[in-house]
Amino acid sequence: MAISSSQQNSLSLVRQEIAAIAGYIPGEQPQDAGWTKLNTNENPYSPSGNVSKAIAVACEGRTLAKYPDPFANQFRKQAADVLGVRPDMILCGNGSDDLLTILVRCYVGVGDAMRVPTPSYILYQTLADIQGVLCDKVAFTDEWLLPESFTAPNASTGEPVRLVVVPNPNSPSGTLLAPEHLLDLAEQLPCPLVVDEAYGDFSESNCLELVEKSDRIIVTRSMSKSYALAGIRFGFAVAQPAVIEQLAKVKDSYNCDAIAIAAATAAIADQDWLRKNQGSIRTTRARLATQLRQFGFSVVDSQANFVWCTHSKYSHKEIYESLRERSILIRFMSYSGWGDGLRITVGTDAEIDVLLGALDTIMREKK
């Protein structure tokens, strides 16, 4: 379709930083039935039964006719009790992506640089682009560790970076950096260190205790993965109160709706459900990794609800496409200078059986 002169004039008014980028490209979300969906790291189980009850209560009376609590204090109090922190150390957001946006807004100005490891969450680059800042990506080592150069000034500006974000566990690898290593990193950096713990509830350790030790460390968490609430969008950050006070200045006015607040509060209160879910995911994760290795894949030991695997003989893109033809979705991911591979969400045992059965057929066809 041809673009009219009026449309061209309108497009010319868009900020150059926005016009030049593609934006964040999410994983496939098919709306029709019949798919085995293992591509976007959603929890394969329904959330705590208390969630639907809380949502029903939130829909009663005039709750939805009124603006929600702008600071989601109901959730802050419950989460503080569960996590062993104070309520004023928590800031809530419309998913942890909202918190990441707030952090970039707060700390990084136009022309400044932020730093992230690569391969990691591709949204970091998008957030930097939107803000008009440099996203300085430093490659992990072959062992998925941070190199010594990670604390160096930005090569382009010669200036220290203004914000560092480290996903822990990392995606796509599922690997975990030790909390003591990240505390040491924070002490070497001239800026805040954000530890993105979107998958933290599936790992053996986390960095919440580090927040008490350093006002440079901010931990972000998601309710989408471990609490099975990807559909409502709710996340939170944990930091020292003075840091939370500054972050709150740049959040949207009412960034968490009443239904999301009620659902998230009920979910985090049900720690028995969480422990059962963690056990199921970890058990299935181990079985999936074992079976993939029997098919000849190299599988990185994961601390998340997914596994990252590569195959030395066969095309990852072809494996992905062959599975898609069978209505099975996994994530084919390619990174400049790093190569490509397959990220597979840990589903139910039945879903993993479907995947493994299809892989068995595909591998036999390739021999």
pLDDT band at residue 5 using 50, 70 and 90 as cut-offs: low
For residue 120, the model assigns a pLDDT of: 98
Cβ–Cβ < 8 Å for 256, 183: no
Q: What is the pLDDT of residue 127?
A: 96
DSSP secondary structure letter of residue 190: S
pLDDT recorded at residue 158: 84
pLDDT of 4 higher than 80? no
pLDDT at 19: 87
Query: For residue 14, what is the DSSP state?
Result: S
- Give the per-residue pLDDT at 21: 85
Q: Do domains 27-46+272-366 and 49-269 have the same CATH topology?
A: no
Q: What is the mean pLDDT of residues 128-135?
A: 94
**What is the per-residue pLDDT across 72-111, written as a single tens digit (0 to 9) for each?**
999 999 999 999 999 999 999 999 999 999 999 999 999 9
Separation of alpha carbons 293 and 301, rounded Å: 11
d(CA 267, CA 23) in angstroms, rounded, equals 31
Task: Return the pLDDT at 155.
Answer: 81
Tens of pLDDT, residues 280-317: 999 999 999 999 999 999 999 999 999 999 999 999 99
Contact 316, 341 (CB under 8 A): yes
Question: CATH code for 49-269?
Answer: 3.40.640.10
pLDDT of residue 3: 58
Tokens for 212, please give them: 């008490």
Question: Would you say the pTM of this structure is higher than 0.85?
Answer: yes
Q: Is 250 helix (H, G, I), strand (E, B) or coil?
A: coil
% of the chain exceeding 90 in pLDDT: 87
Answer whether 41's CB lies under 8 Å from 306's CB.
yes
My answer on whether omega of the bond before 119 falls inside 30° of 0, hence cis, is yes
Distance CA 222, CA 200 (A): 9
Beta bridge partners of 299: 309
- 2 pLDDT more than 60: no
Domain ranges, ordered by start, for the chain: 27-46+272-366, 49-269
What secondary structure letter does DSSP report for 113? E
Mean pLDDT value across the chain: 95
pLDDT tens figures, 212-259: 999 999 999 999 999 999 999 999 999 999 999 999 999 999 999 999
**Alpha helices (runs of H) in the chain, residue ranges in sequence order:** 5-11, 16-19, 49-58, 73-83, 96-107, 123-131, 179-188, 208-213, 241-248, 258-269, 271-294, 316-325, 349-366
The distance in angstroms from the start CA to the end CA of the chain is 46
Statement: residue 278 has pLDDT above 80: yes
Quote the pLDDT of residue 8. 65
pLDDT, tens only, 181-209: 999 999 999 999 999 999 999 999 999 99
* DSSP tally for the chain: helices H, then strands E: 13, 13
Burial environment of residue 347 by CB neighbours within 10 A (0 to 12, 13 to 18, 19 or more): buried
Q: Which residues of 115-143 are buried (b: 16+ CB within 10 A; e: fewer)?
A: bbbbbbbbbbbbbbbbbebbbbbbbbeee
337 pLDDT band, cuts 50/70/90, is confident
Residue 285: predicted pLDDT = 99
Whole-number Å distance between alpha carbons of 296 and 110: 47
**CA gap 327, 33 in Å, rounded:** 10
199-226 burial code (b ≥16 CB/10 A, e <16): bbbbbeebbbebbeebebbbbbbbbbbb
pLDDT tens, position by position, 10-38: 778 898 888 888 888 888 898 889 999 99
Which residue's entry shows tokens 């695997």?
309
CATH architecture of the region 27-46+272-366:
Alpha-Beta Complex (3.90)
At 117 the pLDDT is: 98
Contact 77, 197 (CB under 8 A): no
Average pLDDT over residues 342-358: 99
Q: Please state whether the peptide bond connecting residue 172 to the residue before it is cis, i.e. omega within 30 degrees of 0.
A: yes
**Whole-angstrom Cα distance, residue 173 to residue 41?**
13
